[in-house]
Chain A
Amino acid sequence: MIAELGHVALVLALALSVVQALVPLVGAYKLDARLMAVGNSTALGTFVFVALSFAALTYAYLISDFSVMNVWENSHSQKPFLFKFTGVWGNHEGSMLLWIGILTLFSALVVLFGGNLPEQLKANVLAIQGWIASTFLLFLVLTSNPFQRIASAPFEGRDLNPILQDVGLAIHPPLLYLGYVGFSVAFSFAIAALISGRIDAAWARWVRPWTLTAWLFLTLGIAMGSYWAYYELGWGGWWFWDPVENASFMPWLCGTALLHSAVVMEKRNALKIWTILLAILTFSMSLLGTFLVRSGVLTSVHTFASDPTRGVFILMILLLFIGGGLALFALRAGTLKQGGIFAPVSREGALVLNNVLLTTATATVLIGTLYPLAVEALSGEKISVGPPYFNLTFGPLMIPLLLAMPFGPFLAWKRGDLKAVSQRLSWVFGLSVVALLVSFAIQTETSVAAPFGIALGVWLIVGALAELIDRARFFKVPIKVALSRLWGLPRSAWGTTLAHAGMGITLLGIVGVSVYEREAVAVKNPGDTLEISEYSITLEGIRPNSGPNYTEQVADLTVRRDGQIVAVLSPAKRLYQARNFPTTEAGIQTFGVSQLYATLGDFDDNGGIVVRVYDKPLVLLIWIGTLFMGAGGIVSLTDRRLRVGAPKRAKIRTAMAPAE
C-alpha cells in the first residue's frame, strides 16, 4: 500500500512539475503576477510529493518489503540498518529518485530564499527548474519505476553490492548530487536571463551563492568518493581517471571556472556573455555525467543496470537541455551588452586566464572520456584512453594555473601592476625556493619533479595567506590594528584564501603519495616479519570472523617502530554470502597525515598468504585540502553581500573607490 502511495506521489509530482514548467513562463511573458506566482506553489508542491515518494521507498527498504522489485534486488533482511537506509539510492531507480529529490529541493530553496528576486526572473527560473524536473520525473515514471511490484514476493532479498555496503554510500552520493544538481539553478538563471534579455551585476550576485553552494558540495562529494575508493577498492589508489570519475570532475572544473567568471561579472559587469555560456556548459556537464553513469554506456561500480531504452531517454533529455540551452544562447547572446573594460594585466585578466585554462582542462577530460565511445561508434574499434593520457595532457594545463593562482587576488581590478605584485609576493617566492632546496636535501629518493611539486604547494599555501597578511597590513601597522583589520576583511577574502590554500595542501598530498610511496609485498606465514620504511610488521595470525551478512578471514599485523608496538593492522578477506561476492578490506593506520595501508592477497599451498603493505606519506593531505576548499566555500557563502542579495548603495560606493 505504501509503495503504491509512493508511486502516486511520483505521478502527482510529475503533473505539478509540468504546471511549474508552463504557467510561470506564460505569466512572465504576459507580466501576469498571478500566473507567475504559480511557480512558487508548484515548486514547493513538487518537492513535497517527491519527498513523500522518497519516504515511501525508504519505508519499503527499512521493513524489507521484498514484494517491491527494487527492494528485493538490492536489499537483504540481515543487512545492517544503515545500509538498508542507504541502499535506497544504491541502485538505478533509487539514485534517480534522489537526483530528482535534490533538484526539487533546490527549486523549493529558490522559492524560500528568493524573496528579493524580481518576480519575472524568479518565475522564469522556476519554470526552467520545472522543465528539468518534469523530464526527469517522466523518465523515472516511464522507464525506471522504483515501486514495481513482484506478483509473488520472495522470502529473501538479493542483497546490495557489497562494495556499496559502506558508510561512504551514506555520504558520497547525496553530496555529489547536491553539487551536480545544484548547478541546475545557475543553468536556470542563465536561461531565464536569455529569455528576458536582461542581465546585470545583480544577476551575477543572485547566481553566485547557488553556484558556490553547488561547487562546495561537489568538491566534498568528489573528495569523499575518492577517499572511499582509496580504502575500499584495495589497492590504495585515490584517482583513476575512470570515466565515471571524469563525469563528476568535468562539472567541477567547469563550475570552478563559472565561480570565478561570476566574480568578474558581479564586481565589474564584464564577461557577461561568457558567464552565461559557462552556466549552461556547467550544468550540461552535470547532465552528461548523469547520462554516462546512468545509461550504462560505461561499466563501473556506479552502473547498476543497463537498459538501452533508459540510455536513449536520458540522451534525449541531454539533447533537449544542452541543445536548447546553446541554441537559445546563440539566438540571444548578441542582444546582451558587454560592459566593463579592463587591461590584460588586471584581476579580470587573471580570472580570464583561469577560465581559459579551466575550460581547456574540461575539454581535455571530455575528449579523453568520450573518444573511445566515439571511435567505437564510428569504426567499431575499441581503444582505451587511460591515466597516461590524462597525466600527459591535464597535468601541464594545471601548472600555469597553479603558478598564477597567488597573483590573481593581488592584482587590482581594471589595470594591475604585475611588477608591484611580484615584489609583494617576493618573500613567498623565497619561501618556496627554500622548500625546494630543503626537499632536495632531505628526500631519500631521486625524484626531480617531487621537490618542485612541494615548492609549488608551498607557493600556493603561503601565497594564499600572503593576501590576507597584505590586506590586513601586518608588519606595516601595529599588530593590534592588523588583527582587527584581519577580522574585518570581507568573508569572501577569507573564503578565497582557504580555498586556494586548500588546493596547495591537496597538491602536497598528491606529490607525497605519488612519488614517496613505498610498497612491500611478500608471502608470509604466521610469525613472519615484513620490513617497510621504518616499520617492521609481523603477521601474528589469521583468524575467522563473521559479520551480519558476511564471513571473513582477518590477519592481525603488529606494526613496530624501533621495537615498540605502534599499531595493529587488521586487513581482511571477506565473503558476502547472499551474492557469493568476495571483497578485500584494507587495514589502515594513520600516523599524522601519513598512512600505513595493508591488504591481503591469496593463500598459497603452505598456509602462507600474500601480504601487501604500503607506506603512504602525506596521503591524507589530499582530502584535508579539499576540506579547506569546502570550508572556503562555506565562509564565502556567509559574506554579507551574498546574504543581502541585492546590491546596496553603500557597497557600490566602496566598490568604486579605487577607481577614483
Chain B
Amino acid sequence: MRKITLFLIAMAFFTPLYAVEPDEVLENPVLENRARELSTEIRCMVCQNQSIDDSDAPLAKDLRVLVRERLKEGDTNEEVLTFLVARYGEFVLLKPRFTASNAVLWIAPIGVLLIGGGIAIYSFRRRKGQSQPEKPLSEAEHAALKKILSDPS
C-alpha cells in the first residue's frame, strides 16, 4: 500500500501543472491529480477553446476550485462532470459524451475508416479478377517480340 501511495505521489509531482495557481492545490496528491485530469476535459466557457486547466481567466479559477471542492466531498469524476453539465450545459465538456445526438461524432471516424478500407479491398478484389484473363504469348508473338528486342535501332 505504501508503495502505491509513493507511486501516486510521484505521479502527481511529475504531472505538469499548467495554469493551476499555488493557492488552489489540494493537499491530498491523489485528489489533486484527479482534479487536474478532470480539468483538461472541462471548458473555460468565456475563453477561446481553452480548458480550465490551461486558462488563467477568473471563471476558470472558480471552476478549478469548484471541481476540487466536489472531489473533496467525495464525488466521483463522473459525478463532478454531471454536476457541471447540470449547471452549465453540455458546452462545458471538451470531450462530448456518447449520447444519441453525439453518436455520429464518435462512430464516424471508425465508420469512415471501415468504408475507406472496404472500398480499397473491394477494388483490389475486382481488379484482380480483371487481370486474370492475361494469356501467355503465342509462338508468333514470341518471335515478333524477339525481333523487336534484338532490333539495334
Chain A positions near chain B (C-beta within 8 angstroms): 235, 237, 240-243, 299-301, 338, 341, 344, 349, 352-353, 356-357, 359-360, 363-364, 367-368, 371, 375, 379, 381-389, 392-393, 397, 444-446, 517-523, 601, 610, 614
Is residue B116 within 8 Å, beta carbon to beta carbon, of the partner chain?
Answer: yes
15 contacts between A and B (CB under 8 A): A299-B48, A341-B127, A344-B121, A344-B124, A356-B113, A367-B105, A371-B102, A381-B101, A382-B89, A384-B90, A393-B109, A444-B14, A520-B17, A523-B22, A601-B56
State whether B89 touches A446 (Cβ < 8 A). Answer: no
In the complex, besides A383-B90, A384-B96, 7 extra interface pairs with C-beta distance below 8 angstroms are A243-B49, A353-B120, A359-B112, A360-B113, A446-B11, A522-B22, A614-B16
Would you list the 8 A-B pairs with minimal beta carbon distance, nearest first? A386-B94, A388-B95, A382-B91, A364-B109, A356-B116, A363-B112, A519-B17, A360-B113
Closest CB-CB distance, B112 to chain A, in whole Å?
Answer: 4
Complex CA–CA separation, A519 to B14 (angstroms): 9
State whether A352 touches B120 (Cβ < 8 A). Answer: yes
**0/1 interface trace, chain B 1-42, chain A, CB 8 Å (1 if under):** 000000100110010111111100000000000000000110
Is residue B67 within 8 Å, beta carbon to beta carbon, of the partner chain?
Answer: no
Complex CA–CA separation, A235 to B130 (angstroms): 58
Chain B positions near chain A (C-beta within 8 angstroms): 7, 10-11, 14, 16-22, 40-41, 43, 48-51, 54, 56, 89-96, 101-102, 104-106, 108-109, 112-113, 116-117, 120-121, 124, 127-128, 130-131
What residues of chain B lie closer than 8 Å to A397, measured between beta carbons? 109, 113
State whether B20 touches A388 (Cβ < 8 A). Answer: no
Closest CB-CB distance, A344 to chain B, in whole Å?
Answer: 5
State whether A341 touches B130 (Cβ < 8 A). Answer: yes
State whether A300 touches B48 (Cβ < 8 A). Answer: yes
Q: Assess A389 versus B21: contact at CB under 8 Å? Given A356-B113, A384-B43.
A: no
Complex CA–CA separation, A353 to B119 (angstroms): 11
Complex CA–CA separation, A243 to B10 (angstroms): 35
Closest CB-CB distance, B91 to chain A, in whole Å?
Answer: 4
Closest CB-CB distance, A231 to chain B, in whole Å?
Answer: 15
State whether B10 touches A383 (Cβ < 8 A). Answer: no
What residues of chain A lie closer than 8 Å to B124, measured between beta carbons? 344, 349
State whether A385 touches B96 (Cβ < 8 A). Answer: yes
State whether B95 touches A392 (Cβ < 8 A). Answer: yes
Chain A residue at minimal CB-CB distance from B23? A523
State whether A610 touches B22 (Cβ < 8 A). Answer: yes
What residues of chain A lie closer than 8 Å to B54, measured between beta carbons? 235, 237
State whether B48 touches A517 (Cβ < 8 A). Answer: no
Q: Assess A521 versus B130: contact at CB under 8 Å? Given A242-B49, A364-B112.
A: no
What residues of chain A lie closer than 8 Å to B17, measured between beta carbons? 519-521
What residues of chain B lie closer than 8 Å to A446, measured between beta carbons? 7, 10-11, 14
Chain B residue at minimal CB-CB distance from A392? B95
Complex CA–CA separation, A389 to B124 (angstroms): 33
What residues of chain B lie closer than 8 Å to A235, measured between beta carbons? 18-19, 54, 56
Q: Assess A240 versus B49: contact at CB under 8 Å? Given A381-B90, A389-B96.
A: yes
What residues of chain B lie closer than 8 Å to A243, measured between beta carbons? 49
Complex CA–CA separation, A619 to B147 (angstroms): 64
Q: Assess A383 versus B91: contact at CB under 8 Å? Given A371-B105, A446-B10, A521-B17.
A: yes
What residues of chain A lie closer than 8 Å to B16, measured between beta carbons? 517-519, 614
What residues of chain B lie closer than 8 Å to A237, measured between beta carbons? 54
Complex CA–CA separation, A91 to B16 (angstroms): 36
State whether B89 touches A341 (Cβ < 8 A). Answer: no
What residues of chain B lie closer than 8 Å to A388, measured between beta carbons? 40-41, 94-95
What residues of chain B lie closer than 8 Å to A387, measured between beta carbons? 40, 51, 94
* Cross-interface CB contact of A601 among B21, B40, B105, cutoff 8 Å: B21
Complex CA–CA separation, A243 to B48 (angstroms): 10
What residues of chain A lie closer than 8 Å to B91, measured between beta carbons? 382-384
Complex CA–CA separation, A624 to B89 (angstroms): 41
Closest CB-CB distance, B147 to chain A, in whole Å?
Answer: 17
Chain B residue at minimal CB-CB distance from A363? B112
What residues of chain B lie closer than 8 Å to A242, measured between beta carbons? 48-49
Closest CB-CB distance, A640 to chain B, in whole Å?
Answer: 26
Closest CB-CB distance, A538 to chain B, in whole Å?
Answer: 18
* Cross-interface CB contact of B51 among A368, A385, A386, cutoff 8 Å: A386
Chain B residue at minimal CB-CB distance from A524? B22
Chain A residue at minimal CB-CB distance from B96? A383
* Cross-interface CB contact of A384 among B22, B92, B120, cutoff 8 Å: B92
Complex CA–CA separation, A368 to B96 (angstroms): 10
What residues of chain A lie closer than 8 Å to B19, measured between beta carbons? 235
State whether B94 touches A389 (Cβ < 8 A). Answer: yes
Closest CB-CB distance, A475 to chain B, in whole Å?
Answer: 35
What residues of chain B lie closer than 8 Å to A360, measured between beta carbons? 109, 112-113, 116
What residues of chain B lie closer than 8 Å to A300, measured between beta carbons? 48-49
Complex CA–CA separation, A389 to B120 (angstroms): 27
